[in-house]
Amino acid sequence: MPITVSIVEDNDKLRGTLASVLNRAEGFKCVSSYPTAEDALKALPQDKPEVVLMDINLPGINGIECVRQLKTLLPKVQVMMLTAYEDTDNIFNALAAGASGYMLKRTPQAQLLEAIREVQRGGSPMTTHIARKVVSSFQRTAAAASPTENLSEREQQVLDCLAQGFLYKEIAEKLGISYETVHTYIRRIYEKLQVRTRTEAVALFLKR
């Protein structure tokens, strides 16, 4: 059985070219194509394609919002963005809306067909360049989400005491260290967290 594909693309020439490529390729069938999100949202529930190729820059409702609404209407449909945009915001907004893949319009035909096969099988095809952006963004997010991970165990203990409102002398007594050592730890904590005040340090500690 061929993989059934629908296209949502406002460029008439490109939309026609994509449909022709799909219908000429073995194992694929273009069941419908639409120039706007509004048209697609009305008709796709009846077309019931397995895969939808979705542009982002559409007139009226954009492609990302179309994905979000379409996944409500057809939860099992696999949507692959096919766009000229490769900025991080568009990539993540599309994936968050429910897209399973993200490919660029300049992708060679053979690679595009393989990506459609992959997304239909439950994969998440992306160009190497896009995938690298996704990985880099996740790494930055993870680092930002855990600002105190670089602190030593003792520094974590000192910061925990600060968060509980302990005075420096009380911290020294609780941890069995000198008053001067507490000052040293706090200076290191401020440097590692790139803050200047106790309030800022505690705020980052509470975000863990």
CATH class of the domain comprising 3-127 = alpha beta
Model confidence at 145, in pLDDT bands (50, 70, 90)? low
Model confidence at 143, in pLDDT bands (50, 70, 90)? low
Strand ranges across the sheet with 78-83: 28-34, 3-8, 51-54, 78-83, 101-104
Average pLDDT over residues 29-47: 98
Q: What predicted TM-score, i.e. pTM, was given to this entire model?
A: 0.67
Closest CA to 169 of 183, 156, 152: 183
Average pLDDT over residues 158-171: 87
Least confident of 105-109, 162-166, 181-185, 202-206: 202-206
What pLDDT score does 147 carry? 62
- Regarding beta strands 78-83 and 28-34, do their DSSP bridges make them parallel or antiparallel, or are they unpaired? unpaired
Least confident of 27-36, 114-123, 157-166: 157-166
**C-beta separation of 46 from 34 below 8 A:** no
CATH class of the domain comprising 153-206 = mainly alpha
**C-beta separation of 7 from 30 below 8 A:** yes
Q: Report whether pLDDT(35) > 90.
A: yes
Non-local CB neighbours of 74 within 8 Å, separated by 6+ positions: 44, 45, 48
Q: Report whether pLDDT(169) > 60.
A: yes
Model confidence at 25, in pLDDT bands (50, 70, 90)? very high
- Regarding beta strands 28-34 and 3-8, do their DSSP bridges make them parallel or antiparallel, or are they unpaired? parallel
Q: Regarding predicted confidence, which is higher, 140 or 25?
A: 25
What pLDDT score does 144 carry? 56
Average pLDDT over residues 178-184: 91
Q: Which residue ranges make up each domain of the chain?
A: 3-127, 153-206
CATH fold match for the domains 3-127 and 153-206: no
Q: Report whether pLDDT(160) > 80.
A: yes
Segment holding 181, helix H or strand E: helix 179-193
Q: What is the pLDDT of residues 81-137, one digit of tens each?
A: 999 988 888 888 898 899 999 999 999 999 999 999 999 998 888 877 777 777 676
Whole-angstrom distance, CA of residue 70 vs CA of residue 155: 49
Q: What is the DSSP letter of 93?
A: H
Q: Regarding predicted confidence, which is higher, 34 or 93?
A: 34
Tokens in use for 178? 């000198």
Q: What is the pLDDT of residues 59-78, one digit of tens each?
A: 999 999 999 999 999 999 99
